[in-house]
Structure 1
Amino acid sequence: MPYSTPPRLIQLTEVIRVAEQGMTKPILCRAEDGRRYYVKGQQTDRASLWREWIAGYMALALGLPIAPFVLVQANEFVLRELSSELRLLGSTPAFGSAERENATWYENSLSHQVDARVRQAVLVFDWWVKNGDRQVGNTNMLWETIPERLVIIDHNQAFDDEFDTVAFVENHVFASEWDALTQDAELRAAWTHRMSQALVVARWALENAPHEWRWANAEQDIPAAYDPERALRMLSRCVEPDFWSVR
């Protein structure tokens, strides 16, 4: 993944419908590249966009199977033809997660088909970004049938100030990997190295996010009630001695 140039902003050509699932009400859209994306724009808050964006790049940096994501935008010409519900998408840059056409919602019965290394990677990632929103019964994961593989989605609740470490270890969909991970010093050290190396990507993601996200409104006269530097401070704790502690 190159980090030398700013990410491309892709224009939306069609706004289709509100997704059937998702508390942030993503909107299914078609973009100029021909792909369909579930888009989170002005119908959600700025904190959700920052969390999706930074967590997305952390997932990429760790090699996780995350659905491809891009920056997308609907111009006023597209918006003016929409219903009031769809027009909530807004015209500022938005977060688009690619639709996975050959995917269904992940069921816990599929766990044995997921490589143990992938299960562990998802567990480490969610612990690192303080994402407690991947539990049994609400996994925020998809299962692609061609080829058979896991796909993670929805990180709008990452970087949670109220992250409950005990509940995480008890309820995460891949919690069964926790003991094997934390009891292996070499394994922990390898993950710490990977996470520390990825911190430079986190900084790049912050600096290359849309400047509009720093404002709460399209007029850009009300600062957003979210400081993305907080996310980077949370990520940097990966090198601290008590990073793996459950308390």
Structure 2
Amino acid sequence: MLRQVTGIRYVTPLREGGSLPGVVEADDLGTYVAKFSGAGQGRKALVAEVVSGELARRLGLSVPRLVVLDIDPVIGRAEPDQEVQELLRNSGGANLGMDFLPGALGYDPVAHPVDAALASQVVWFDAYVENVDRSWRNPNLLIWHRQLWLIDHGATLYFHHNWPRAGAVVGRPYRADDHVLAPYATRLAEADAELAPRITADLITEVLALVPDEWLAGPDFDTPDEARAAYADHLSRRLELSASWLPTGSPA
């Protein structure tokens, strides 16, 4: 599993996130952006955060450190916002923590140009995990220490919201026309040749092992291991079908 820490103080909500994430201090002296299990997107969003985030990290893309953040709902009792109190009451136990990057800037395509190789790798990765949330309206990219960081992957892997149809959409094409980095992603073929061989069956298994069992529990599978096997099969099959989903170019 991911490293586990315990939340000791709820600092503030982050209103720009649809799931109402919040900044939480933990017992390791770290500060984290918390994604809560009781949020509207549910635990599948946390699974997507871990699987996609840790795959990206192993491909050499920069992703804030992820931890399992144990939350006692009592830490929100002084929070005046009733919505936040209710969210914390519904999120006792294991939640996701993403390392808070102090002083990070939101990505601006004018102020922060990205070279073609990196842009192509990010677009390739987002196409593979079907990330629908990297548009110019909501890039989910940060600039920290002059480096591009990828955040917020809860909207990836959306096949897992309908497992009976997951097999039918495994090769679904990815539309990159709204992707914030698409204009710079002129080396997608090179990105495919570099990144695809690095996603092995062992790597997928390693990443899926990081997901807590309780996030995989539910009506879709009898056991967490069955769920991991289904994710592994889908991700492996999608990789084999890259010719059907990989964008062939970038918009002008």
**Shorter-chain TM-score category?**
0.7 to 0.9
- Where 1:42 maps in the other structure, the secondary structure is coil
Question: What is the match of residue 232 of structure 1?
Answer: 232
- Where 1:139 maps in the other structure, the secondary structure is coil
Question: What is the match of residue 192 of structure 2?
Answer: 188
Question: What is the match of residue 7 of structure 1?
Answer: 2
* CA distance in 2 between partners of 1:124 and 1:245 (Å): 7
**Greater CA drift, 205-214 or 96-105:** 205-214
Question: What is the match of residue 138 of structure 1?
Answer: 138
* CA distance in 1 between partners of 2:207 and 2:74 (Å): 29
Residue identity in the other structure for 1:102: G
Q: Mind listing any 5+ residue stretches in structure 2 that lack a counterpart? A: 160-168
TM-score scaled by structure 1? 0.79
Superposed displacement of residue 214, structure 1: 2.7
Superposed displacement of residue 152, structure 1: 1.0
Question: What is the match of residue 94 of structure 2?
Answer: 93
CA RMSD of aligned residues (A): 3.0
Once the two structures are superposed, the pairs formed by residues 176-215 of structure 1 within 5 Å of their partners are: 176-182=183-189, 188-195=192-199, 197=200, 199-215=201-217
Whether 1:169 and 2:176 are equivalent positions in the alignment is yes
* CA distance in 1 between partners of 2:176 and 2:112 (Å): 17
Contact 1:50 1:228 in 2 (8 A): no
Q: Mind listing any 5+ residue stretches in structure 1 that lack a counterpart? A: 1-5, 217-221
CA 1:61–1:105 in structure 2 vs 1: closer, same or farther (change >3 Å)?
same
Q: Percent identity?
A: 24
Question: What is the match of residue 50 of structure 2?
Answer: 53
Superposed displacement of residue 111, structure 1: 4.1
Query: Residue deviations 1:86-145, cap 9 Å, x none?
Result: 342322111111111121211121342x3332212211110111112101121011112x
CA 1:136–1:82 in structure 2 vs 1: closer, same or farther (change >3 Å)?
closer
Select which of 37, 41, 62 maps to 2:59.
62
Contact 1:52 1:154 in 2 (8 A): yes
* CA distance in 2 between partners of 1:27 and 1:93 (Å): 15
Superposed displacement of residue 179, structure 1: 4.5
Superposed displacement of residue 235, structure 1: 2.1
CA 1:230–1:19 in structure 2 vs 1: closer, same or farther (change >3 Å)?
farther
CA 1:98–1:235 in structure 2 vs 1: closer, same or farther (change >3 Å)?
same
Superposed displacement of residue 78, structure 1: 3.2
Select which of 131, 149, 152 maps to 2:150.
152
* CA distance in 2 between partners of 1:165 and 1:93 (Å): 34
Superposed displacement of residue 20, structure 1: 1.9
Aligned residues: 228
